[in-house]
């Protein structure tokens, strides 16, 4: 009677497991990279979150609120217009200056005037319920009123007029400084909702 060798495990099985593990690691790394690239693309071209650094937009937006600014409108449809809440780079060109968020009051070609605590654009007094009756006074003696906003620039002011460093202080905001249109507060939860 002949003894037959019992079949042993083929040496390929551990190698297959090793190959499967390596493939899984590569696929996972690629998925993570793809998700990261997609998130960066969305942030750069579609929507970006911001934390509000000051109380200059109170009570519309509170200090430390988290808001979303969409970028599609200003990139493909239209530029900022009166009433928009706009996120923009600080026009002072200080690299350490924070990103700002203010309301667009006037656009290039329009004239802004401040009289008796009120804002006039092209000679017409604005109805500004978002300021809750706070007066709007000049901040920088070098800015003379009435002030004509240069083309491709915007006059931005905070809703909290008595506590806002804005175009009254640093002048008009050039178009290239505009980042996006703030449209939504998403934190804290009790203030979740659209911005007006």
Active site (catalytic) residues: 56, 102
**CA contacts within 13 A on the Cβ side of 100:** 27
DSSP assignment, residue 141? T
**Phi, psi (5° rounding) for residue 176?**
-70, -10
Q: How far apart are CA 122 and CA 163, in angstroms?
A: 25
Radius of gyration (Cα) for the chain, nearest Å? 27
E-state strands within 116-152: 118-121, 124-125, 147-148
């Amino acid at each position: 009677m002949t003894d037959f060798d019992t079949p042993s495990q083929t040496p390929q099985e551990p190698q297959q497991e090793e190959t499967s593990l390596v493939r899984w690691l590569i696929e996972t790394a690629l998925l993570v990279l793809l998700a990261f690239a997609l998130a960066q693309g969305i942030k750069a071209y579609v929507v970006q979150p911001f934390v509000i650094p000051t109380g200059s937009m109170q009570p519309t937006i509170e200090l430390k609120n988290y808001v979303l600014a969409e970028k599609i409108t200003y990139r493909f449809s239209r530029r900022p217009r009166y009433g928009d809440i706009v996120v923009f780079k600080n026009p002072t060109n200080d690299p350490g200056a924070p990103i700002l968020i203010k309301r667009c009051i006037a656009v290039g070609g329009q004239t802004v005037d401040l009289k008796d605590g009120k804002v006039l654009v092209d000679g017409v007094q604005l109805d500004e319920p978002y300021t809750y009756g706070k007066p709007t006074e000049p901040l920088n003696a070098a800015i003379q009123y009435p002030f004509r906003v240069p083309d491709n620039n915007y006059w931005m002011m905070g809703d909290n007029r008595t506590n806002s460093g804005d175009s009254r202080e640093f002048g008009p905001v050039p178009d290239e400084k505009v980042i996006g249109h703030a449209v939504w507060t998403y934190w804290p939860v009790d203030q979740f909702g659209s911005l007006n």
